Amino acid sequence: MALMVKKYGGTSVADLERIRVVAEQAQEDRRQGHDVVIVVSAMSGETNRLMGLALEASDNPNPRELDVLLSTGEQVTIALLSMCLAEWNCPAVSYTGAQVHIRTDSAFNKARILDIDQRRIRRDLEKGRVVVVAGFQGVDEEGNITTLGRGGSDTTAVALAAAQGAKECQIYTDVDGVYTTDPRVVPKARKLDRLTFEEMLELASLGAKVLQIRAVEFASKYNVPIRVLSSFEAGEGTLIAPEEAEMEQPLISGIAFTRDEAKITVQGVPDKPGIAYQILDAVADANIEVDMILQNISNESATDFTFTVHRNDHERALGLLETTCGELGAQSVTGDASIVKISLVGVGMRSHAGIASTMFGALAAEGINIQMISTSEIKISVVVDEKYLELAVRALHTAFGLDQDSEED
């Protein structure tokens, strides 16, 4: 007998047939004597439908009203799921974010959870009820409806699990766990049994879209293990939990990549203090996020400055810099949108030298030129020509012993 906090994403509640599957699982959990709290997203497609209406009303919908609108998506799901449970005489009760006082700040469309009043939920659990909570939404101090941003339902679930002291937070999705890399690129990709929060954060931010970054941050902060599971098939999924001191960590847990990058190089910039600031300031002012930044060593008092941005922002960033290029006294600005970023992630990296050389060696063996390199404590990222993406990821996957076959030998 334990408390289970389970979250189901949009594809897991896409229609009444899928919602009934969720209800069946909850009923089975109850039969086994567990307390059950379920967090649900909007039925898949619903948030897009509502967003479409908003954009029909306004090119730039009022943020407060957008949250009033979007929050109806999850409200529909909680009602339908609770109806299915009631239909089978399984006592259930649904709550919107406001009803269980998921209190957030007032940053509409991207609010942060401040606290949760779990008394109401606890009272219902004591009465043997399945508690169904709308994900993605909360309420600010003034009683305004807020939303946590896309994927915020994961955060709701983790926050509830933390508040209720659940042993783990189960996130049901349409994949059966977190993989060493994208199985569509590397057929030999292997499902991971376990990952640390730090690894998941790096993998999530690098493009493995299984979990929302903020949910992982939240889980890490409150030390709530997350289990990623498929709602379509049985399995143990992947456990994301604190690092265990006694366990030997694999060197590399996974390989993430993103095709959304583009590179901009400002060449022949006078090498003087403040130049990096001047370049990036113009970009930041335009609300363009910069990912990797690289400055080559000075050459005859001039230097080259390279950074990457999201591919969607590439043209705009180029245009901006061409304007400021003259003011800076730079020679030229060039861009390249045909690049990809590939990252190795693993907490084992911290205690082992030689990861980088193995990585660069594997890429060199395939004749792949590395354009940029960036490292962090548990991550090494390289930028290469996009035509090498699949080749590079597969080579690295094999080089670090991640392939499914070698594992099962």
Applying CB under 8 A, the residues found at the interface with a second copy are 16, 19, 50, 53-54, 56-62, 64-66, 68-69, 71-72, 75-76, 78-80, 82-84, 86-87, 93-94, 96, 98-99, 143-145
CB of 15 to a second copy, least distance (A): 8
Phi and psi torsions of 373, nearest 5°:
-135, 140
Q: Which is nearer to a second copy, 80 or 226 (CB)?
A: 80
Query: In the numeric block, which tokens belong to residue 11?
Result: 């594809």
CB of 66 to a second copy, least distance (A): 7
Cα–Cα distance measured from residue 100 to residue 157, given in angstroms and rounded to the nearest whole number:
13
229 SS3 class? strand
CB of 386 to a second copy, least distance (A): 39
CB of 107 to a second copy, least distance (A): 17
Query: In the numeric block, which tokens belong to residue 256?
Result: 């993430």
Which segments within 54-168 are labelled E, that is strand? Answer: 92-95, 102-104, 113-116, 130-134, 137-139, 145-147
Query: In the numeric block, which tokens belong to residue 347?
Result: 């907490």
| Cα 317 versus chain centre, distance | 25
CB of 249 to a second copy, least distance (A): 46
Q: Which is nearer to a second copy, 70 or 342 (CB)?
A: 70
Q: Which is nearer to a second copy, 98 or 200 (CB)?
A: 98
Q: Which is nearer to a second copy, 66 or 340 (CB)?
A: 66
Report the run of H or E that residue 254 belongs to, with start and end: strand 254-258
Half-sphere exposure of 90 (CA within 13 A, CB side): 24
Q: Which is nearer to a second copy, 72 or 205 (CB)?
A: 72
Residue 219 in contact with residue 158, Cβ under 8 Å? yes
Q: Which is nearer to a second copy, 46 or 291 (CB)?
A: 46
CB of 59 to a second copy, least distance (A): 8
Cα–Cα distance measured from residue 14 to residue 42, given in angstroms and rounded to the nearest whole number:
8
Q: Which is nearer to a second copy, 77 or 231 (CB)?
A: 77
Report the run of H or E that residue 38 belongs to, with start and end: strand 35-40
CB of 251 to a second copy, least distance (A): 49
Q: Which is nearer to a second copy, 80 or 359 (CB)?
A: 80
Listed residue (142, 134, 171, 138) closest to 154, CA to CA: 171
Rounded-to-10 torsion of CA 166, 168, 172, 175: 180
Report the DSSP pairing between strands 35-40 and 3-8: parallel
Q: Which is nearer to a second copy, 65 or 182 (CB)?
A: 65
CB of 146 to a second copy, least distance (A): 13
Rounded-to-10 torsion of CA 98, 100, 104, 110: -70
CB of 50 to a second copy, least distance (A): 7
- How open is the CA angle 292-293-296, to the nearest 5 degrees? 135
Residue 380 in contact with residue 373, Cβ under 8 Å? yes
Q: Which is nearer to a second copy, 139 or 333 (CB)?
A: 139
CB of 63 to a second copy, least distance (A): 9
